[in-house]
Amino acid sequence: MIASLWRSSLRYLWSHPWLFGLSVVGVAMGVAMVVSIDLANVSAQEAFELSAETVTGRATHQVRGAGDGLDEAVYRQLRIDHGVRPAAPVVEGYATVPDAGRTFQVLGIDPIAEGPFRAYASQDAGIELDVFMARGQTALIAEPVAEALSRAPGDTLQVRVGGRDRALIIAGLLAADDERSRQALESVMVVDISTAQELFEMQGRLSRVDLIVETDAERDRIEGLLPESARLDRSEARTETVEQMTRAFELNLQALSLLALVVGMFLIYNTMTFSVIQRRPLIGRLRALGVTRREIWRLILGEALLIGALGTVVGLALGLVLAQGLVVLVTQTINDLYYVLTVRELTIDAWTLTKGALLGLGATLLATVWPAREATNAPASTVLQRSAAETSTREAAPRLALGGVFLGLLGGGLLLIPGDSIALSYAALFLLIIGFSLLIPLVITGMATGLRPVMDRLFGLIGRMAARGVVTTLSRTAVAIAALVVAVAATVGVGIMIDSFRGTVEVWLEGQLQADVYVQPPSLVFRQADATLDAGVVATFRAAEGVRDAHTVRSVHVETNHGRSELVAIEFGPSTEDAYRIKEGDASVWDRLGSEPVVIVSEPYAYRHDVEVGDTIEIQTDEGRAPFEVGAVYFDYASDLGVITIGRPVYNQYFEDDAVSGLALYTAEGQPVEGLVERLRRQVPDGQEVIIRSNQGLREASLEVFDRTFTVTVVLRLLAVLVAFVGVLSALMALQLERSRELAVLRANGMTPRQLWQYVTSQTGVMGLMAGVLAVPLGLILATVLVYVINRRSFGWTLQFNVTPEILLQAVGLALVAALLAGLYPSYKMAQANPADALREE
């Protein structure tokens, strides 16, 4: 690169600090969003892997039961009768320490068998067996945890499991060999196996038996020894399955952050196009002096690289800060929807940062290719006229629109391709955005013509000039407006998607919640009823005064031919049929559900596993693997992982389990619901915490969780709004600042600073209004694709499209307010400046 050209380029950027600064901010925000989401996801994954690694230890395989447990006799038979060693029994679950507000993964083990698996929990680690095992109800926690809780060995620790409070004595402290283990152990509490069985009400049952199996022959032998109700899995496979639960959720977050990057790209495109168009005469001069096209190309790309590099550095730093907050929201959502996860600290992943840097630089360069091409094609001429460029832009508008229609159709066509590729959906979305942008020059020309008489009536000559000015400088205004439209439309699209989701869930809850009162034990994962109700409580409540009818629900996790799934066994109540809205299948399924091996599956389950009515699902039961026919598919928005629902009588035939996860009560006629809730609360025995909610209360709680799980999306949308705002500001401010000479001419001709302000703000206002209005249809298109295609391909849900006028008005308002603000600085600057300075040649 020729030093003078580079110097000239740098000075140009330096002499346009607003333009330069805002483009850097544009890139930075795009990069920050992608990086922060990625870091939050990676941190959650890392925390999960760390915890999985810690509790799995060196086990290569696990023996698990059919439902939520395995008969401990299986362990005895394997180890003692058949000499399968090493083998270690495990009972695991989660417990909270209310004092500290923290959740621990509780690992119930036999320290004598632990040696080969988890050194930290074995005799070798110096655990005093006489204290740990003989005293009963003891626990081991990591040293830093003990410090944080101000506890020492011998002290009592209050823990809560399934709503019941228990006191454990700290028998010792877990020591870690390295930093990684230290981190992992901070979320683990080790107890004796019998203590764990008592805590989780799993007397006589185990969560699993860990094994180290080195040969295929050994594996086959063990498989042959297992009863029908048990199965042998690779430990890694189990971790992978759980990890995959959050895949769609994480993918969608990433996609949303990429959408922000696309908006960022438009901003960069706007900036670079603007700076190229503005310098057309200068580039023409350089070309006349003998600067080659390649040198101009390098010059423009060099500038972009500088903006991209600065934006990327700022974006990476901003991303790290943002990730600290987002990781909390992501963890919260995972905890609400999928599994218990504790993220103690942010994982700074080098690949994420590299990816962010590559995206930042790549997106900037990609967005610059077209403007750079425009610059290199600028004719080298001594007589270059700006008006010629504007005329050619106006002439090109119909052609661009035609191209836009073609790209739009291409995008639409891609969406019609069957399949579940989310990447393809986003590619189609991108084409639709570009296609729509190409329509903008033609559309705003028409809009300006329509607006002229209105502006004339409102502001007279100045109004007319403002409307006309949008078309006379079309080469600049079209790009700026297109950038704004895309930025604002992205916020509309995501906003409508969230509203549609919420609206659908509200309607669904209305139908789903038919009973008057719901009783359940507290659950660490809101949407998973993994704890059980005390049998005494169930009996008392069923017989309580004022209760007309009741039905129970039991939720367990089972192995199926489609992997591990949630199985919900329902008792039939007076309005069970009304609670389920059938999507496929007919009402006759209800009769069969009570007596035949028939299940109904939720819509996401059917979508995820490609299951249809009439198909068979094989479920691992206590009676061995059994086939169940899919009788119907029903609408359900509680879990994106999908649910299999079975009648309780049939469940009881296949599973030795009489536990209850939830109870729904119907009040007797004339019985006030709140009165019944109060009475039931008084009847809860000491020691068990039970959540009793009215229909209304549960609905509100469900929506509260919904809103909480969408907080991260709302935050992303707000960030996109912020990027859009910066975009509006930078595009319009640059446009006005660049017109300082024209404004100086007006000032020289007697325009007062007040009139100048009116002129500038009415023009930016017109552009903001145009952008806001055009963002509405594009926003609706984006929302349609997000709701009907991307959401469906990610989760399998059918959502009702829900557009509120507020969201559309918000879009127009956002564009308008930002546009008016963008006019303030240039009009202030011009009002302060001496017109003579601006009028000087160059």
Partner 1 sequence: MAADATAPPQVQLRGLTKGYQEGEQFRTVLDDLNLTITKGEMVVLLGRSGAGKSTLLNLISGIDRADAGEVILGDTNLTTQSEHARTLFRREHIGFVFQSFNLIPTLTVEENILLPLELNQRSSSEDRDRALHFLEEVGLRDRRSTFPDRLSGGEQQRVAIARALAHDPLLILADEPTGNLDYETGQQVLDVLDRLVRQAGRTMLVATHDHDLRAVADRVLFLQGGTLDVYDPSSVPAS
Residues near partner 1, by CB under 8 A: 2-5, 7-9, 11-12, 15, 282, 285-294, 379-383, 840-842
For partner 1, give the closer residue by CB, 3 or 217. 3
Phi first, then psi, for residue 775 (nearest 5°) are: -70, -25
Cα–Cα dist 122/586, whole Å: 56
Pairing of strands 188-192, 102-109: parallel
- Size of the chain, expressed as the number of residues it contains: 842
Q: What are the tokens at 712?
A: 């991260």
Beta bridge partners of 96: 103, 160
In the complex, what is the shortest distance from the CB of residue 377 to partner 1, in angstroms, rounded to a whole number?
11
User: Is the Cβ–Cβ distance between 146 and 99 less than 8 Å?
Assistant: no
Q: Coil, helix or strand for 666?
A: strand
In the complex, what is the shortest distance from the CB of residue 703 to partner 1, in angstroms, rounded to a whole number?
58
For partner 1, give the closer residue by CB, 288 or 461. 288
For partner 1, give the closer residue by CB, 10 or 309. 10
For partner 1, give the closer residue by CB, 682 or 840. 840
- Residue located via tokens 């922000």: 260
> In the structure, how many helices (H) and strands (E) does the chain have?
30, 21
Identify the CA nearest to 608 among candidates 561, 656, 640, 571: 640
Q: What are the tokens at 351?
A: 């690949």
Eight-state DSSP code of residue 685: P
Integer CA distances (angstroms), 782 to 503, 684, 776, in order:
18, 50, 10
Integer CA distances (angstroms), 95 to 2, 64, 191, 252, 264, in order:
67, 21, 11, 30, 44
Eight-state DSSP code of residue 699: H
Identify the CA nearest to 329 among candidates 36, 41, 712: 712
Integer CA distances (angstroms), 394 to 207, 373, 442, 474, 811, in order:
72, 19, 8, 7, 27
For partner 1, give the closer residue by CB, 12 or 430. 12
Cα–Cα dist 811/490, whole Å: 10
In the complex, what is the shortest distance from the CB of residue 285 to partner 1, in angstroms, rounded to a whole number?
4
In the complex, what is the shortest distance from the CB of residue 101 to partner 1, in angstroms, rounded to a whole number?
59
Integer CA distances (angstroms), 825 to 397, 455, 533, 756, 828, in order:
31, 22, 65, 12, 5
In the complex, what is the shortest distance from the CB of residue 753 to partner 1, in angstroms, rounded to a whole number?
23
Cα–Cα dist 66/621, whole Å: 5
For partner 1, give the closer residue by CB, 377 or 588. 377
User: Is the Cβ–Cβ distance between 288 and 380 less than 8 Å?
Assistant: yes
In the complex, what is the shortest distance from the CB of residue 837 to partner 1, in angstroms, rounded to a whole number?
9
Cα–Cα dist 323/341, whole Å: 17
Cα–Cα dist 746/547, whole Å: 82
In the complex, what is the shortest distance from the CB of residue 396 to partner 1, in angstroms, rounded to a whole number?
17
In the complex, what is the shortest distance from the CB of residue 389 to partner 1, in angstroms, rounded to a whole number?
17
In sequence order, the 6+-apart residues with CB closer than 8 A to the CB of 3 are: none
For partner 1, give the closer residue by CB, 279 or 648. 279
In the complex, what is the shortest distance from the CB of residue 381 to partner 1, in angstroms, rounded to a whole number?
6
In the complex, what is the shortest distance from the CB of residue 735 to partner 1, in angstroms, rounded to a whole number?
19
In the complex, what is the shortest distance from the CB of residue 827 to partner 1, in angstroms, rounded to a whole number?
23
In the complex, what is the shortest distance from the CB of residue 287 to partner 1, in angstroms, rounded to a whole number?
7
Q: What is the CA radius of gyration of the chain?
A: 33
Identify the CA nearest to 549 among candidates 682, 671, 692: 671
In the complex, what is the shortest distance from the CB of residue 369 to partner 1, in angstroms, rounded to a whole number?
20
Eight-state DSSP code of residue 93: E
Identify the CA nearest to 372 among candidates 448, 452, 308: 308
For partner 1, give the closer residue by CB, 64 or 279. 279
For partner 1, give the closer residue by CB, 150 or 382. 382
Q: Coil, helix or strand for 583?
A: strand
Cα–Cα dist 283/280, whole Å: 5
Q: Where are the alpha helices (DSSP H) in 92-234?
A: 111-114, 129-134, 143-148, 179-185, 193-199, 216-225
In the complex, what is the shortest distance from the CB of residue 705 to partner 1, in angstroms, rounded to a whole number?
57
For partner 1, give the closer residue by CB, 388 or 461. 388
Q: What are the tokens at 3?
A: 């030093």
For partner 1, give the closer residue by CB, 283 or 644. 283
Identify the CA nearest to 512 among candidates 381, 643, 421, 319: 643
Omega cis (within 30) before 521: no
For partner 1, give the closer residue by CB, 381 or 834. 381
In the complex, what is the shortest distance from the CB of residue 756 to partner 1, in angstroms, rounded to a whole number?
22
In the complex, what is the shortest distance from the CB of residue 283 to partner 1, in angstroms, rounded to a whole number?
11
For partner 1, give the closer residue by CB, 238 or 279. 279
For partner 1, give the closer residue by CB, 23 or 376. 376
- DSSP secondary structure letters along 652-695: HHH-----BSEEEEEEPTT--HHHHHHHHHHHPPTTB--EEEEH
For partner 1, give the closer residue by CB, 230 or 744. 744
For partner 1, give the closer residue by CB, 282 or 317. 282
For partner 1, give the closer residue by CB, 21 or 585. 21
In the complex, what is the shortest distance from the CB of residue 236 to partner 1, in angstroms, rounded to a whole number?
59
Q: What are the tokens at 277?
A: 């168009």
